[in-house]
Structure 1
Amino acid sequence: MKGLLIEDEIRWLDRWSANLGAHLKTRDSSNNLLIFDGKYGREEILALIAEAPQDVYRIIDLEEAPEEDCDFMADSGICYRKLN
């Protein structure tokens, strides 16, 4: 699955998150990470945030992981590990 990691929360605009949420199913989230259903690819995500500067976010591959291998703890309590 893909995650969008917001690296600069000051420059990130809420409307970009709203646009993503309106068009793609969000599987999970945390303060600065949106986790998308596995059916969405990088290109679909990028198309919806085309006006966002590339240095304010990073798209990463994720998988669910046990707590000992956790890179991100989502609001749901599920742990995710970065694959790239």
Structure 2
Amino acid sequence: MQCMWCESKQAKNTTVTSYWELPDGTRAIEIKMIPSVHCVDCGMEYQEETLIEEIEDQLMLIDTKPLPNSMTYQELMDVPRFLKKNYFKL
């Protein structure tokens, strides 16, 4: 895998814990086990843009009020959506 920052071929898939602000701005939740990339050469840890969009779309399309303060990435993605996709995305 190639690092998008330093272009090293030493990047590896990993998982991380991160805090994500809910779209309504009322609070942030802890999301554990987010698929991520870690580069052993430059030290960067990041999520690919498509995954970030996936998380943000999911948070826009679900009822966030009953979400716990902490959950795994898969638990978040398993929450039923109000709509099938984000029709407001240009």
Which TM-score tier does this pair reach, normalised by the shorter chain? under 0.3
TM-score, with structure 1 as normaliser? 0.26
Structure with higher helix content: 1
Bigger RCO (CA 8 Å, 6+ sep): 1
